[in-house]
Amino acid sequence: MVKIAVYPPNSLILADLIERKGHTPLVLQKQIRQKIKDPEIDSPPMNITEDDPIKGLKYAAIEVPSGVRGRMAIIGPIIDEAEAAIVVDGAPYGFGCIGCARTNELSIFLLRNKDIPVLELNYPTNQDETYLMVNQVNEFVDSLEETDKEEE
4 contacts 85 by C-beta, under 8 angstroms: yes
**Binding string to other proteins for residues 23 to 62, with x set by CB under 8 A, is what?**
----xxxxxxxxxxx-x---xxx-----------------
Is residue 149 near other proteins by the rule CB under 8 A? no
* Residue numbers 57-86 binding other proteins by CB under 8 A: none
Minimum CB–partner distance for residue 30 and other proteins (Å): 6
Q: Is the dihedral of CA 75, 80, 83, 86 positive or negative?
A: positive
User: Alpha helices, DSSP H only, in 37-126?
Assistant: 51-55, 66-81, 101-112
Tell me the HSE value of 106 on the side-chain side, using a 13 A CA sphere. Answer: 22
Contact 116, 4 (CB under 8 A): no
- Total binding residues toward other proteins, as defined by CB under 8 A: 42
Which residue type is seen at 58? K
Torsion sign over Cα 102, 30, 19, 17: negative
Binding segment (CB under 8 A) for other proteins, from list 63-71, 76-84, 94-102, 108-116? 94-102
Please give the residues from 104 up to 143 whose contact with other proteins meets the rule CB under 8 A.
124, 126-135, 138
User: Which position among 95, 112, 142, 143 is part of the footprint of other proteins (CB under 8 A)?
Assistant: 95
Q: Contact residues for other proteins (CB under 8 A)?
A: 8, 10-13, 15-17, 19-20, 27-37, 39, 43-45, 92, 94-97, 124, 126-135, 138
